Structure 1
């Protein structure tokens, strides 16, 4: 038995090494993933977008704002003039945090009362929000100590009041579980679609399928429907588990969520069929699928914010359907994302679905060997 197992292992190594595409898969993906992890997978937060509402406009308040803007952790992107501007700024993700200084800040400092400063962070990104709150706490604590020493006061005259929107307790589960709806369905749908044509090629039946009266577009639809159905069923199961088992609130429209999931899975199926059309064997199809899936997850914002990635890496994320789906999922679960903002994420996925589907149909027609 041991001799048979050894011979089988040698045969598999030789089969992989003799095929040029298999050799490329052995060396190409590790190098690509090395660079992707090095540049994209970072938990450091630098230049987080900060909006400032300074209702006091005194020397003391301007000095506190200057400490925030001089910090590496924050980058001022907007000056607000009214409290009503805070909600739209956070809702549309124009800023990751809002620094709010009340109109009595300097007066409270001079009178010896506690001067409160509020910072509002986007709780949909719980990990980033926790880091930003730590940065803000250090800045305010340093400012308070300096002011206490300057005014010869026994204790710090200012304290920070924090509030996280959409995820008040900053539970990581609320951040991760909605993302799993997109990530896991992407994996299953891509692999199922990727194996469909490769399996037929390996069995020698795909050429027979092409000579039937079925047109390439009909073959594409026939290959798409099973993968799409499996993905929708799994997505629905994960959504129900998120709501009933993990107790993550679903505040948005169920209809928008279903529409978004179907369109997202169509784009994933197109990618899987493209991979399957190129692959000669099921083994290559599986490896090719994971060659796409690993960068797709890294570049989606699932674990680390896209804003923290270098510009050239961010440009790659626009071709990733999971990037748009995660915005929709976290927005509908935690925020009740408005329909117009959902549409802004839907049309890029529609373009990806059309392009990948057209390429897959073209590959079917030309019978890539």
Structure 2
């Protein structure tokens, strides 16, 4: 029976991956370790900043600004400069990431509600961190200006804005990072395990034995497809449990929708892996091919930077990236109760990618048999 043959191939593939104790440790240990390391290390938050202050104002408000900067938890150390040359040297040597230069008439101008001389000098070599630090300093200076007598008088005539963050009220970075890692590490594991599948058969010399077996071509592909998907679902389950019980991330959506879309996501990833494996003659080629796909997939998924911020000519390439769609689903299931319609809308491209990649892998597999 076809089911008996297929079951035997699936068991064989699982044993090939899990039989070696070192292989089991590599497959299970590092992905879980990556989840915990990246959740804390891979952050865009800027903390423990070294700052320099050049205060040429002898008035009250200049000193008040310095004290507020010193009291901010963002800044680790505050050094003081006597002249502009010291500021230049500190920025150039990367001793500090930013410097604040307070003009001699800062207190008098801010009391008179006239433009005050406050300059922020940033290290443009660290552009992202510099922009965030500038935002912190602007916020401190803005609050100081609002508390001066002239600022209080002007506040009655201006519109007050009160920010409110939906879905992540405290802007906890793990709430953003961990759902992203669930999808990204599942991509890594599924792609590597699948890419090594056929290449390993060729290196071990068992590929010809597989060809003369009673298994048909589509049965071989299904047998190669199912084990990586099972391993991927196992990792997704571990990550979901860690996210909920360790990182205390709320799970507001449906697990059924998450796993339903996750099956098609893993199928699309396995399809890419099988295509790479069918192209490769050795496991080394398969690993290189997997990383050749994985790095652009991570960069073009919206993981770190929004797709809308990418150049217009680059955005259409992201349409064929399965990680792009599953990231939306994972974050939606965790941080808000994403509606079924949205899950379906994001899952349909995954289905199409699965069909295309598995079809291409099957075609290439048949070509290699001729």
TM over 0.5: yes
Segments of structure 1 that go 5 or more residues without pairing to the other structure are 1-42, 44-126
Segments of structure 2 that go 5 or more residues without pairing to the other structure are 1-43, 45-127
- 1:156 deviates by 6.5
Equivalent residues in 2 for 1:87-102 (5 A)? none
Map of 1:364 onto structure 2: 365
Equivalent residues in 2 for 1:334-353 (5 A)? 334-353=335-354
Map of 2:186 onto structure 1: 185
TM-score by length of 1: 0.59
Deviations along 1:274-307, one digit per CA (max 9) or x if unpaired, are 0000001000101111111111111111111111
Q: Is 2:205 aligned against 1:204?
A: yes
Distance in 2, matches of 1:366 and 1:209, equals: 16
- 1:172 deviates by 1.1
Secondary structure of residue in 2 paired with 1:247: coil
- 1:159 deviates by 2.2
Checking the alignment, whether the CA contact within 8 Å between 1:277 and 1:368 is kept in structure 2 is no
Deviations along 1:91-139, one digit per CA (max 9) or x if unpaired, are xxxxxxxxxxxxxxxxxxxxxxxxxxxxxxxxxxxx9xx97xx59x88x
Map of 1:240 onto structure 2: 241
Report how many residues are paired: 237
Distance in 2, matches of 1:313 and 1:269, equals: 24
Secondary structure of residue in 2 paired with 1:213: coil
Distance in 2, matches of 1:270 and 1:327, equals: 21
Map of 1:4 onto structure 2: none
TM-score by length of 2: 0.59
- 1:310 deviates by 0.7
Map of 1:331 onto structure 2: 332
Deviations along 1:199-247, one digit per CA (max 9) or x if unpaired, are 0111222133123221111000000111111000011000100000011
Distance in 1, matches of 2:155 and 2:323, equals: 53
- Which deviates further from its counterpart, 212-221 or 341-350? 212-221
Distance in 2, matches of 1:354 and 1:161, equals: 48
Checking the alignment, whether the CA contact within 8 Å between 1:278 and 1:368 is kept in structure 2 is no
Distance in 1, matches of 2:201 and 2:163, equals: 58
- 1:368 deviates by 6.6
Structure ID, larger Rg? 2
Deviations along 1:28-67, one digit per CA (max 9) or x if unpaired, are xxxxxxxxxxxxxxx9xxxxxxxxxxxxxxxxxxxxxxxx
Distance in 2, matches of 1:197 and 1:329, equals: 30
Secondary structure of residue in 1 paired with 2:301: coil
